[in-house]
Homo-oligomer: A and B are copies of this chain.
């Protein structure tokens, strides 16, 4: 699907059921004005299910994020209840109460304790959510829970997404084969710090919660932390990783199987992260910027500036090899550093050496930037630091989608 992503040989695409121990459902509960599916329920039947979580760092946290952080055991989540169509953010105590009611109803539906339930929401900010709608959805979803319910679950968590973002793979380990599935959503308000709005990952491998947390942290850093649609940090970003252990295949933290499973999870989250960028609101093309230099802080700042520059993004959209905007973005990010010796390559064609335009084959470059994926390489002074950011373009459709969202 992308030249920037290679599926490990021991990971096999295999559409089918959720990993052993999991069931899911998605229903339409009337939260979305469109009447589309808007409540997703995911239940693990294994009492020993372990989990790990990651959340947005926004100063404005949505009620379900606060609730899940405060009232759920991060290492033992068995049930995930999600609604789309309303973010339940900036809704104060009332919003928190609605999230708590939702958590309670989902605990009943899943036959688990309340602190084993994670609540997530996505949609418009600043409108009170009626938990009654979600609870009616939970009741219906409970009767519809199936081993292959993740398709509906995936649909129910979407908002402006144009396509489902899913992983369904088998992972061959020396101790046996485990299954790994994941569902993500997120097309706008995708941020530089922590990107996807929602992502849920399930496996039937058995691993302890500390290792699950370590693994998730590493993989999120290399996936959702490395993408930007519009540089906008969401109030609701939530990633939940659950391992039922029902396969009977145990992963010891330092084993070769653990490494192989880690590779599979890394691939899966990077695939979903790229899917999110590809589905960036109105996106037509994806850019990848790789910045090398002498300081982690400097390469990160430069890469973010390029990935979030509306000028760079609009040029990417237009298939315009206007590399001056790369230079401009770098200069704007690294103020008071002039003269800054920067090299710029677009699709391996060098266009700028030590801050200065050089001759290149314009026709070859024009052709290179007309593809679906465009790679930018920027080299700053020094060495030892390197980072990458994937980003979507800035299109007319982004403006259309975002100029008229609530009304």
**Chain A interface (Cβ within 8 Å of chain B)?**
57-61, 66, 87, 89-95, 124-128, 188-189, 191, 193, 230-235, 309-311, 314-315, 317-325, 327-340, 342, 351-352, 354-357, 366, 394-396, 398-407
| Cβ–Cβ contact B126 & A327, under 8 A | yes
B58, B398, B405: the one within 8 Å of A310 (CB): B398
What are 21 A-B residue pairs whose CB atoms fall within 8 Å in the complex?
A59-B337, A59-B340, A60-B340, A60-B355, A89-B328, A125-B325, A126-B324, A126-B327, A126-B351, A126-B352, A193-B332, A232-B311, A234-B332, A314-B399, A318-B402, A318-B404, A324-B406, A366-B407, A394-B403, A395-B403, A396-B396
| Cβ–Cβ contact A338 & B87, under 8 A | no
* Cα distance A57–B317 in the bound complex, in angstroms: 28
* Cα distance A82–B97 in the bound complex, in angstroms: 62
| Cβ–Cβ contact B233 & A332, under 8 A | yes
* Cα distance A154–B366 in the bound complex, in angstroms: 34
Enumerate chain B residues within 8 angstroms of A400, measured Cβ to Cβ: 396
Minimum CB distance partner of A233 in chain B? B332
Stoichiometry (number of copies): 2
* Cα distance A329–B189 in the bound complex, in angstroms: 10
Extra A-B contacts (4), CB below 8 Å, given A230-B310, A310-B398, A322-B405: A126-B357, A189-B311, A321-B406, A321-B407
Query: Contacts A124-B324, A338-B58 known; A311 to B92 CB distance under 8 Å?
Result: no
| Cβ–Cβ contact B318 & A126, under 8 A | no
Enumerate chain B residues within 8 angstroms of A406, measured Cβ to Cβ: 320-322, 324
Enumerate chain B residues within 8 angstroms of A231, measured Cβ to Cβ: 309-310
Enumerate chain B residues within 8 angstroms of A309, measured Cβ to Cβ: 231-232
B91, B321, B334: the one within 8 Å of A59 (CB): B334
B233, B311, B314, B399: the one within 8 Å of A317 (CB): B399
A105 CB to nearest chain B CB (Å): 23
Most chain-B CB neighbours within 10 Å: which of A90, A334, A338? A90
* Cα distance A318–B317 in the bound complex, in angstroms: 21
B189, B396, B404: the one within 8 Å of A320 (CB): B404
A366 CB to nearest chain B CB (Å): 7
Query: Contacts A233-B328, A329-B232 known; A58 to B311 CB distance under 8 Å?
Result: no
Enumerate chain B residues within 8 angstroms of A91, measured Cβ to Cβ: 356-357
Enumerate chain B residues within 8 angstroms of A329, measured Cβ to Cβ: 232
| Cβ–Cβ contact B330 & A126, under 8 A | no
| Cβ–Cβ contact A90 & B335, under 8 A | no
A98 CB to nearest chain B CB (Å): 12
* Cα distance A91–B328 in the bound complex, in angstroms: 13
| Cβ–Cβ contact B66 & A338, under 8 A | yes
